[in-house]
Amino acid sequence: MQVPAHFGYDRATSIDHALRLLARHGDQARVIAGGHSLIPMMKLRLAEPEALIDINGIDELRGITVSGDELLIGALTRHADLLSSAVVGEHFPVLHDAERVIADPVVRNFGTVGGSLCQADPSEDLSAAFVALGATGVIRGAAGSRTVPLREFHLGPYETAVAPDELLVEVRVPIRPGGSSAYTKVERRAGDWAVAAAGAAVWLGPDGAITDAGIGLAAVGAEHFTAPEAEEFLRGRAGDDAALVEAGKIAAQHCDPQADQRGPADYKRHLAGELTTRALRRAVARASGQEA
């Protein structure tokens, strides 16, 4: 039987209440949402917060809505809710692709979107998917709200732009016409973290050329989960297979995978390229109506 070390427990009843609790405890507190990464880490003493601030009761942090040309996802939205949302599937199939391979259905019942992003595991899938989509995080602090592009959110393993006295409250995804998206992942077994994974979003002009592209890479040491060189290569090009293969090669060249128990670096680099190309193919096929 494993139990975490002793900690204080506070249940926040509103965002402002959570912020007051965070201010009181400083960097010795951790916010707990689904807890399915944090609690196992606490059992292993990889995390030993003095206080847990439970935000599960804050209803204003939950929900998926469309507002103008943005999709707003509350930070406390469960993975299962993102996966079952029709509006998410309609606009951003990359998010449904990713959710199907995040952990397992039982974990997805409680794990949250914001928790996954803030846990900031270098192999985390939604980070790569949101990066491909050009999403923005809304962070609240005592002084008010600020927004941070998810391309600048992840500062390193388990480290984000959210300060100890701040809370990620929402993710905003721009809804842009003429595009689609996809996610591909290789994992050792069902529900595992990725050996490597790639998300892609493309927007096509009337002539079928790629007007814009977004690529997110997980688990391969890509800075901020991004692949800007491959994105830049694709802009303005015809979305033919040679271009998508070349974009994969460029993404593979610029990432920095590390060997670990999930595989050697060269294998992961190979996967980064191949998965980028496959995600791009699927995104292009979807954007041009050839695939659901």
Residues that bind another protein (CB under 8 A): 1-9, 32, 35-36, 39-40, 43, 52, 54, 56, 80, 100, 103-107, 109-110, 190-191
Q: Cβ 112 to another protein, closest distance in Å?
A: 13
Q: By C-beta, is 106 or 155 nearer to another protein?
A: 106
Q: By C-beta, is 192 or 212 nearer to another protein?
A: 192
Q: By C-beta, is 46 or 238 nearer to another protein?
A: 46
Q: By C-beta, is 42 or 173 nearer to another protein?
A: 42
Per DSSP bridges, beta strands 136-141 and 167-174 are antiparallel
Q: By C-beta, is 6 or 292 nearer to another protein?
A: 6
Q: Cβ 33 to another protein, closest distance in Å?
A: 10
Q: By C-beta, is 39 or 148 nearer to another protein?
A: 39
Q: Cβ 32 to another protein, closest distance in Å?
A: 8
Q: Cβ 173 to another protein, closest distance in Å?
A: 25
Q: Cβ 134 to another protein, closest distance in Å?
A: 30
Q: How far is CA 1 from the centre of its chain?
A: 32
Q: Cβ 279 to another protein, closest distance in Å?
A: 21
Q: Cβ 66 to another protein, closest distance in Å?
A: 24
Query: Which residue in the block uniquely carries the two structure tokens 């914001």?
Result: 114
Q: For residue 243, give both structure tokens.
A: 């271009």
Helix/strand/coil (H/E/C) assignment for every residue in the chain: CCCCCCCEEEECCCHHHHHHHHHHHHHHEEEECCCCCHHHHHHCCCCCCCEEEECCCCHHHCCEEEECCEEEEECCCEHHHHHHCHHHHHHCHHHHHHHHCCCCHHHHCCCEHHHHHHHCCCCCHHHHHHHHHCCEEEEEECCEEEEEEHHHCEEECCEECCCCCCEEEEEEEECCCCEEEEEEEEECCCCCCEEEEEEEEEEECCCCEEEEEEEEEECCCCHHHECHHHHHHHCCCECCHHHHHHHHHHHHHHCCCCCECCECHHHHHHHHHHHHHHHHHHHHHHHCCCCC
Q: By C-beta, is 36 or 282 nearer to another protein?
A: 36
